[in-house]
Amino acid sequence: MSKPDQEYIQPIGLDVGTSRIVAARVTGSGAGTRGYKYESQLNAFVTLPYSKLTESLLVAEKVFHSVRGDDIVVIGEDAQRFAEVFHVETRRPMANGLLNPQEPHSLPVVRSLIARLIGTANAGGQKVFFSVPAPIDGSDAGIPYHQACISRILIELGYDPTPIGEGLSVVFAELADFNYSGIGISCGSGLCNVCLAVLSVPVISFSVPKAGDYIDSQSALVTGDRSIRLRLRKEQSFHMNGLGVDRDHDALTIHYQEVLVNLAQALSKQISASQRLPRMEQPIPLVLSGGTAKPRGFLDHFNKVLRGHELPFKLSDVRVSSDPLNSTARGALMAALC
């Protein structure tokens, strides 16, 4: 491929999330026809004891898997299906936004998922912007290692990787009409990532550890059900419309409320205490994204909680992304296109 051709290889945005990994690409050739295409995989796996017969059956059924020692590792969407069949929990290669140190299969599984989603680079130097979490309570413990591992995977696939904060990705995806100024919040499974940006420059970035996985695990503890069942209900049919519906619904509602209060408290505390807070001449928007922000009633409950916590500036608008599951990947892609 000639050098001029290489310059037109489109970049990729990659949301490396605790629950899902999402790849975003541009469709259309001109500004007026530009659109976005998304592909995703569940960031999870289950293991089965190795046997030649089992492996041959999985190959015949085109089940996404790999063989590691004495284990057959079933990966991605297929892992959830197998977990339901065998009544077990899926295992996560990531926890709290980072590679899970308790899982020996974590790095190979994430490598397999990324390779399946984006393949090898079309040309040397093809750009990939990938999401990374913000520090918790000012500590970046684990983030440099996680970031280096994802970068290495992408380099091995032939890409030129660049990390971008998950909250900043939301700003790029959702706040172009506001000159990329405002607050982007990604409410994911492992963390709630927050970024206050001015003219696309991140001013304050932090993450809050209570998020979607916390809701699932705590709800499972009090109901006796499995986390995967609570997660599926939360994603498919849950509506934050008060208590008294049934035990699972009530457990999800109560723990959602806890997560929202924790997020609002952290938002108020972190921003108010910042020594780098810019002077805001006008109210700024706040946008929420991520799978945890998807249920009906989420925005109403968040607004109620937020009204009880002071911020050092006014908000012009508070909304949930129209495409919360893909917002981070789209924002990473838009940053790569800039």
Same-domain status, 125 and 168: yes
Same domain, 9 and 95: yes
End residue of a domain, out of 89, 116, 145: 89
Residue where a domain terminates, one of 29, 56, 89: 89
Q: Which of 89, 106, 121 is the last residue of a domain?
A: 89
pLDDT at 57: 95
Range of the domain at 192: 178-320
Give the pLDDT of the chain (338 residues) as one tens digit per residue: 444 444 458 999 999 999 999 999 999 765 566 799 999 999 999 999 999 999 999 999 999 999 999 999 999 999 998 988 888 889 999 999 999 999 999 999 999 999 999 999 998 889 999 999 999 988 899 999 999 999 999 999 999 999 999 999 999 999 999 999 999 999 999 999 999 999 999 999 999 999 999 999 999 999 998 888 888 888 888 999 888 778 999 999 999 999 999 999 999 999 999 888 888 889 999 999 999 999 999 999 999 999 999 999 999 999 999 999 999 999 999 999 99
Asked whether residue 239 falls in the same domain as residue 255, the answer is yes
Same domain, 227 and 127: no
What's the pLDDT score for residue 33?
Answer: 63
Distance CA 185, CA 284 (A): 14
CATH number for the domain harbouring residue 264? 3.30.420.40
- Distances from the Cα of 272 to the Cαs of 24, 214, 276, 319, in angstroms? 34, 26, 10, 21
Quick one: 184 and 269 in the same domain?
yes
- Per-residue pLDDT, 164: 98
Q: Which residues of 39-53 are buried (b: 16+ CB within 10 A; e: fewer)?
A: ebbbbbbbbeeeeee
Question: Is there a single domain that holds both residue 247 and residue 104?
Answer: no
* Residue 293 shares a structural domain with residue 228: yes
Q: 153 and 13 in one domain?
A: yes
128 and 27 in one domain? yes
Q: What is the pTM of this model?
A: 0.93
Counting the structural domains of the chain, the total is 3
What pLDDT is recorded for position 252?
96
Say yes or no: 139 and 164 in one domain.
Answer: yes
Do 186 and 265 have their domain in common? yes
pLDDT of residue 86: 84
Domain shared by 35 and 168, yes or no: yes
